[in-house]
Chains A and B, each alone.
Chain A
């Protein structure tokens, strides 16, 4: 398994000329391992699709290089790159049948007729399109069209499979089942893939690693767990899942890898990486709503007033005002917990290990 199967090095893409320019991709560096599925995740306009289009060859990087399997493909035209793409709107050829769509690339490659038939039939079986070979794309459901598009790309056995929001045209239920299918298929075939989406749930369930992008820059690269539990900055913490942000100060250093945090006058002992913080520094604390505990008000604790209490069946969601900071709290399985009403005063607490400490930064 090559760790640097697909390499994006210092990739920059600037659109426009003269004074009217826009930097869509700003110094992007990614290494994708062979067989890995990496998601480019971010809000619209973050540069994820532009990055994908540079990998496929439809956009030429303003600067930087792209390597696939050790080969520099930065200026290779798209038809000569070992990549294939699943388009957002599928881009099925309306004048060709399902079979002809899938066989298109093989024909271009001048495979033998017999070989084309065999390979295409195999892939159709793999993605569940058997019996639809002679249909025209217009006669297929959205899900089937999506699978034709996937089959058409997979049949080429590309070195890197590119997927540009392939599920965004499906309805919610189909989206969930299809993304599982795509993941299974990708693992079975073991194909290196880059997947663009703006749906974080999709990214979390599908990917080996997620690349979070914002305004053309990479915010963080990591496994779904790492990105959720240890967001690198405020943007990532806010973008992935729900997060409460609290300001704090390093009160004192208990030892090399243990600090005492001061959050609104309350002290918390937290284990940290050795020597990562200095005494007195301002920090930003990230607390996930499900990590916060609520109890009836007790003296000498962090207290607040419940402003809203919403019952969702599987959980209670509270908004608690703690000295003008609104903290969201999610309590799973409300049947087993005390339920608070709006207006009640409560004590909030959390474990030191569910706190994630970031250097202080202003809110956007």
Chain B
């Protein structure tokens, strides 16, 4: 039999298998349809719109952008911001991860929790705190101007600071996993052969961490380049792509120019994503298993401890300063003018923002379980089933993770403000457009936790249960479910957090009838009502924390001793 013949036989065999499970077949087709409508179709619409002017194919948008500095500058600016924030964030993350995995730093849990806190809070909250601290009426502004003279927090410098604080923690999580997975015996072996501490670091630790460092760098690059909330608040005259695309569409009503800027944003982020996923990941020497390795080297010299500890304390201090400032600011009568403490901001926030809060909660609560179940189901299909297009399904469903929110948001308004042959409903202005956006945008988190959970379950564990007399139904309930549950719930937790704190894509699809808390905060900031914005941000953080602890308790009840999964990568 020839190779191609065998291949055809295999495909036919697989088809036959599917045919015997009609339910599975139907769900696979349904998932492909949804992925096409809610992931690919909006992207396609952005491309199409950027290439069509006056109903004709036209490259003039691109020509305009590449020929006029006014349009091209945002691209350069976004790249500069991405590169600087990625570099700073990666260095920060590395030092932090090194301190926690390789030194006897006291209070490690505390440092770790503080360092990762920015991940669960809405990112633009950092920019808001930066304004409260360093803005025109900032608390620290007078002191700093006395030292360095006149400065403005608005612009590249402020943005790099804010993006580093917001996304450095992602680099930390990646590098923490990588450094933890490097066997300390390797470093001991090098030392045993005569290498000094610095030499061990340069010849063993660092080279082994390089793929991880590249990974972390690319992830922070993607995040800070695609970020919308922080630049919207803090970019000033430093124009970046995400904000310019938004302004083109909502301010100038120029959909095609906005789409073109979005495409320009998409190209570098998606390139970085693919480099990270398919190239860097393959270069890795260490497999991150989450299994902590043995003891690390003791008796560290002061010249290692001193700078790493200092960096940890400094960054932790900054996190406290920023969030503390939010609390302090939220009680002031009128920011920069009247510092009398008051509860008035909270009252006003509730009066103005009640509907936003309810909408946010309702839509996130609706989207989260769907995200979780759909993600788990796709993970199940991808890991345990064989069908044509399996790789495609995984690829497409992970795609939204790499696409900047701005691009997705623009795609959604383009795709769903009219009926199309593919999807005969208008979604614009409804709660559905927000919900579906949240579901499909956060689904990669659900899929990732699902895949991690399923890979954790050795099929022989299920076989052992069946072998001991349990029916497959009972095996699923007693063995599989408890093992999947922790990952499922932590997936839920993070999709909820992401839904509650989303802004970049969401801002395009909110409407008068359905609006969200993050958009309201941005509105307050826009009106320079910083105190109210701070109060509302705090409320949002509290909601997120409550949701996380509820899910934590659930996980503790259901999956005793099972590991939860990480949220990045």
**Do A and B belong to a common assembly?**
yes
| CB under 8 Å from chain B, chain A span 49-86 | 56-60, 77-80, 83-85
Flag whether A109 is at the interface (Cβ < 8 A).
yes
Decide if B25 is an interface residue (CB 8 Å cutoff): no
A109 touches which one: B183, B194, B297 (CB < 8 A)? Answer: B194
A85 partner residues in chain B, CB cutoff 8 A: 188-189, 192
Are A83 and B192 interface neighbours, CB within 8 A? yes
B207 & A95 in contact (Cβ 8 Å cutoff): yes
Q: Which residues of B contact A58 (CB under 8 A)?
A: 188, 192, 297-298
Task: Verify if A91 is at the interface (C-beta below 8 Å from B).
Answer: yes
Q: Give the chain A neighbours of B298 by CB distance below 8 A.
A: 58-60
A85 to chain B, nearest CB (A): 5
Q: How far is the CB of B342 from chain A (nearest CB, A)?
A: 49
Question: In whole angstroms, what is the CA distance A176 to B431 when docked?
Answer: 71
Number of A-B pairs, beta carbon distance below 8 Å: 70
**Segment with Cβ contacts to A, from B41-49, B195-203, B227-235:** B195-203
A79 to B190, CA, bound (A): 8
Within 8 A of A (CB), among B253-300: 285-286, 297-299
B192 interface neighbour in A59, A84, A92, Cβ under 8 Å: A84
Contacts of A59 in B (CB 8 A): 298
- Given A58-B297, A58-B298, A60-B299: A78 and B208 interface contact (C-beta under 8 Å): no
B294-329: CB near A (< 8 Å → 1, else 0) gives 000111000000000000000000000000000000
A355 CA to B42 CA in the complex, in Å? Answer: 89
Are B192's CB and A78's CB within 8 A? yes
Q: Are B285 and A94 in contact (CB under 8 A)?
A: yes
B80 proximal to A (CB < 8 A)? no
Contact of A79 among B191, B203, B207, B208 (CB under 8 A): B191
Contact call A108/B299, Cβ cutoff below 8 A: no
Indicate whether A87 reaches chain B with its CB closer than 8 angstroms.
Answer: yes
Given contacts A58-B298, A87-B185, A95-B285, contact A108 B199 (CB under 8 A): yes
Interface size class, chain A: 20 to 34
Does A91 lie within 8 Å of B188, measured CB to CB?
A: yes
Interface centre among A59, A77, A79, A152 (most CB of B within 10 A): A79
Within 8 A of A (CB), among B533-563: none
Contact of B191 among A60, A78, A109 (CB under 8 A): A78
Find chain A residues with CB under 8 A from B195 CB.
79, 104-105, 108
B193 at the interface (CB under 8 A from A): yes
Check: A89 CB closer than 8 A to any chain B CB: yes
Contact A56 B192 (CB under 8 A): yes
Q: Are the C-beta atoms of A94 and B196 separated by less than 8 Å?
A: no
Residues of A within 8 A of B285 (CB): 94-95
Task: Assess whether B186 is in contact with A93, with CB atoms less than 8 Å apart.
Answer: yes
Q: Is A156 in the interface zone, CB < 8 Å from B?
A: yes
Note all chain B residues with C-beta closer than 8 A to A78.
Answer: 188, 191-192
Given that A58-B298, A89-B183 are known contacts, is A108 also in contact with B194, CB under 8 Å in the complex? yes
Mark B21-47 against chain A: 1 for CB-CB distance below 8 A, else 0.
000000000000000000000000000
- How near does chain A come to B201, taking the closest CB pair, in angstroms? 12
Cα distance, A56 to B297, chains bound together (Å): 12
> Does B204 lie at the interface of the complex (its beta carbon under 8 Å from any beta carbon of A)?
yes
Residues on the B chain within 8 Å of A104, using CB: 190, 193, 195, 203
Q: Which residues of chain B are near A77, meaning CB under 8 Å?
A: 191, 299
Interface centre among A87, A88, A94, A152 (most CB of B within 10 A): A94
Whole-angstrom CA separation of A156 from B193 in the bound complex = 7
For the residues of A in contact with B, the DSSP-based class is loop
Give A92 to B186 CA distance when docked, in angstroms.
Answer: 7
- The main secondary structure of chain B at its interface with chain A is helix
| Residue of B185, B189, B207 with most partner-chain A CB within 10 A | B189
In the complex, which residues of chain A have a beta carbon less than 8 angstroms from the beta carbon of B299?
60, 77
Note all chain A residues with C-beta closer than 8 A to B189: 85, 87, 91-93, 152
* A94 x B191 contact (CB < 8 A): no
Contact assessment for A91 and B186 in the assembled complex, using a CB-CB cutoff below 8 Å: yes
A61 to B207, CA, bound (A): 32
Are B193 and A91 touching (Cβ within 8 A)?
Answer: no
Give Cα A60 to B196, complex, Å.
17
| Contact residues in A for B208 (Cβ distance below 8 Å) | 94-95
* Alpha-carbon distance between A83 and B204 when the two chains are bound, in angstroms: 20
* Shortest CB distance A149–B (Å): 8
Please give the distance in Å from B61's CB to the nearest CB on chain A. Answer: 46
Contact between B190 and A93 (Cβ–Cβ < 8 Å)?
yes
Within B478-526, the residues touching A (CB, 8 Å) are none
Q: How far is the CA of A166 from the CA of B6 in the complex (A)?
A: 47
The CA-CA distance from A105 to B192 in the complex, in Å, is: 9
Whether B186 pairs with A79 at a CB distance below 8 angstroms is no
Q: Measured between alpha carbons, how far is A105 from B189 in the docked complex, in Å?
A: 10
Option from B194, B207, B297 in Cβ contact (under 8 Å) with A156: B194
Given known A-B contacts A108-B194, A156-B193, A91 and B203 have beta carbons under 8 A apart: no
Cβ–Cβ < 8 Å partners of A57 in chain B: 192
- Residue of B at shortest CB range from A152? B193
Q: When the two chains form the complex, which single residue of A79, A89, A153 contacts B196, counting CB atoms closer than 8 Å?
A: A79
A58 to B189, CA, bound (A): 10
Closest to B301 in A: A77
Residues of B within 8 A of A79 (CB): 191-197
CB distance from A268 to the nearest CB of B (A): 52
Residues on B with beta carbons closer than 8 Å to the beta carbon of A152: 189, 193
Interface centre among A87, A88, A92, A152 (most CB of B within 10 A): A87
Q: Which residue of A lies closest to B211 (CB)?
A: A95
Which residue of A has the minimal Cβ distance to B210?
A95
Shortest Cβ distance from A155 into B: residue:
B193
Interface residues as binary, B57-85 with A (CB distance below 8 Å gives 1, 0 otherwise): 00000000000000000000000000000
B191 nearest CB across to chain A (Å): 5
Complex partner residue of A93 from B192, B197, B204, B297, CB under 8 angstroms: B204
Nearest Cβ on chain B to A357's Cβ, whole angstroms: 43
Q: Please, how many angstroms separate the alpha-carbon atoms of A59 and B297 in the complex?
A: 9
Can you give 27 A-B contacts (C-beta < 8 A)? Answer: A58-B298, A59-B298, A77-B191, A77-B299, A78-B191, A79-B191, A79-B192, A79-B194, A79-B195, A79-B197, A80-B194, A84-B192, A84-B193, A87-B185, A87-B188, A91-B183, A92-B189, A93-B186, A93-B189, A93-B190, A94-B286, A95-B207, A104-B190, A104-B203, A108-B195, A108-B199, A156-B194
Known contacts A60-B299, A79-B193, A93-B189; 9 additional CB pairs below 8 A are A78-B191, A79-B196, A83-B192, A88-B185, A91-B186, A94-B186, A108-B193, A109-B194, A156-B193
| 9 A-B pairs with least C-beta separation | A105-B193, A91-B185, A91-B189, A94-B285, A108-B194, A79-B191, A95-B207, A108-B195, A78-B191
Chain B positions near chain A (C-beta within 8 angstroms): 183, 185-186, 188-197, 199, 203-204, 207-208, 285-286, 297-299
